[in-house]
Amino acid sequence: MQTTAESREFETGYLAGLVDGEGCIFVSHRKPNDRTYPRLRIFSTSKPIVDGAGRIMGVNPYPRRDHGKLVGWYVSAEGGKTVEVVHNIASHLTDPSKRCRAFTILKVFDTVVSIQGRHPSAEVFAHCPPPVRLRAQEVPNSSGSLDSQGAREDTEEISKMFTQQLVGVSSSPEISEIPALDLGWLCGMVDGEGYIHVRYRSDRDSTYPRLRLFVKTRTIIDAVARLMGVNPYARRSRGKVSGWYASVSHRQALRALRLIGPHLLDPSKKCRAQKILEAFGEVGTIHSRLDTFGFFNDCPPPSRIRKSGRVISGA
């Protein structure tokens, strides 16, 4: 980024993209003072990503352990810090559930950092679309209302907020021309949900680079696809749509990696982007067989490897 203003916009976009992919917006109750606080939490198996998010948010990361084994890292904000962070990213979130929850946080906790009594997330966010990754304790109940002093947001008012432009993108912009805010959002999405690799085609005896993102929210993948200038695809599991892909390859992947590569925080993805740019230059295809794991053997291993799935055209 060339200026401080651009750097701030990029960081805001990056955090919004990371929250869209890996974040959780909810409320938690403290028994000692019987009050409910807003919280924003991001989990990742890559510590540099969490460190970067913590720096932007102004909080420290902490590890997550399962039976004594380190499985990843959290970065979390609570109370007034949550309101401060959410205020910066709310209008840039794309996931309908998280966007609705963010604006609800700003409404309910507008003048206070907590509210009296126990109010579970299912109650506070009952009017919001359910999270794609629904947690058991957040299943909406039938009542879904705060007490008389609670400032519950109207479904109608929330829906008006959704009419604001998502991520600030127009249809299919040139990827080299996207603003710092949108570039940051895309980098946050790639760090959280992206996969950078090379693919061999036996029928042409050639290898080409590819950048692919998979998410379970259609609105997110639509925004990713618009930024990268491609169409999204559906992923099916046993005949049912289980998520969505957006993918760029060949020279289009090189253009994308040249733009976002320097800003990625995940060591494996950053190294893979640089390795591809060095090997392919301006050429979208190499006429030889290159194996992904062999080609990237000097890069840090991915912190998470997704299972493969069948990809079909989405409508």
Q: Kindly report, residue by residue over 186-223, the tens digit of the pLDDT.
A: 999 999 999 999 999 988 889 999 999 999 999 999 99
pLDDT of residue 149: 38
Residue with structure tokens 């603003």? Answer: 179
Average pLDDT, the chain: 84
Kindly tell me the burial class for residue 170, based on how many C-beta atoms sit within 10 Å of its own C-beta (0-12, 13-18, 19 or more): exposed
What are the two backbone dihedrals, phi and then psi, of residue 12, each rounded to the nearest 5 degrees? -60, -45
pLDDT digits (tens, 9 = 90+) for 121-166: 999 999 999 987 643 333 333 333 443 333 334 434 443 443 333 3
pLDDT of residue 305: 53
pLDDT digits (tens, 9 = 90+) for 86-131: 999 999 999 999 999 999 999 999 889 999 999 999 999 999 999 8
Residue with structure tokens 């996969």? Answer: 195
pLDDT of residue 314: 39
pLDDT of residue 175: 60
| Domain 175-313, CATH class in plain words | alpha beta
Q: Which of 32-41, 100-109, 132-141, 282-291 has the lowest mean pLDDT?
A: 132-141
- Consecutive H or E run containing 218: helix 218-228
CB under 8 A, 24+ apart: contacts of 111-115: 113/37, 113/38, 113/79, 113/80, 113/83, 114/30, 114/33, 114/35, 114/36, 114/37, 114/79, 115/35, 115/36, 115/146, 115/149, 115/150
Asked whether this chain's domains 4-161 and 175-313 adopt the same fold, the reply is yes
pLDDT of residue 270: 97
Q: Percentage of the chain surpassing pLDDT 70?
A: 81
| Domain 4-161, CATH class in plain words | alpha beta
pTM: 0.82
Quick one: tokens of 51?
């460190």
pLDDT of residue 174: 56
Chain-centre distance of CA 235, in angstroms?
Answer: 18
